[in-house]
Amino acid sequence: MTACIIVGAGRGRRFKSKIPKTFYPFSGKPLLEYSIMKFSSCSVVDEIVVVVQKKFIKHKYVESWKKLFPKIKAVVAGGDCREKSVFNGFMNCSKDCDIVLVHDGARPFVSFRLIERVVKGVLKYGSCIPVYPVNGSVKIVKNKKLISTLFEKDLKIAQTPQGFRRDILEKVFSSNEQNLSSFPDEASMCETLGYGVYTVDGEPTNIKITTQEDLKIAHALLKITC
């Protein structure tokens, strides 16, 4: 069985809204609902655990999601960093689920094809993430000053869902329980313990909504993908 943890507990400071971005209205629905809809309709996903800020646990949207989407096993409170939120979600996944996906709730355009590619990658390799090529060079900047430039053909941007065998996630969380805030994602935790993380092709439409400007792009994509 396959579980998916949909993470929507971030504060979204760059989004600059009093409403968390995952609850922000987007074409008639809260942003997070698009991901819930997609994974609920995906044949390779058996259950969903949604992670939100603690104060939104009883929100009207959350109550309606529980009724509308039977695959939702639990809605749990997030932690003070991404990986603590993922860990809280992981602890609520059924023991029967031997594959666990982790998806950013701010990526509303994930496709069935991408979800299936990641699951197949986990079945073959144990750990699998989608990546997309970086176009151009990457600059490291501090205080508006250019520090260095990364310009390599092998640079990729990580996307979600990231997928793992359950036993691998158990080991990496157990080993890094005291320093979860040091990691940007689950794949980086796997790296520190020597687990090979394999990749599949991501998708240009699988964008993450980070700022208000991203919503303009998202509205254009909505017309294409939905």
For residue range 5-40, what is the model confidence (pLDDT) as tens digits? 999 987 667 676 777 888 888 988 999 999 999 999
For residue range 188-224, what is the model confidence (pLDDT) as tens digits? 999 988 899 999 999 999 999 988 888 888 888 887 7
Residue pointed to by tokens 């809605």: 75
Share the mean pLDDT of the chain.
91
CATH number at residue 108: 3.90.550.10
For residue range 49-70, what is the model confidence (pLDDT) as tens digits? 999 999 999 999 999 999 999 9
Could you tell me which of 23, 63, 66 has the C-alpha nearest to residue 47? 66
Range of the domain at 119: 2-225
Domain total in the chain: 1
How many whole angstroms from its chain centre is CA 93? Answer: 15
What's phi and psi for 162, nearest 5 deg? -95, 140
Could you tell me which of 81, 24, 76 has the C-alpha nearest to residue 54? 76
- Identify the pLDDT of residue 12: 64
CB contact at 8 A, 224 and 155: no
Could you tell me which of 71, 16, 75, 1 has the C-alpha nearest to residue 40? 71
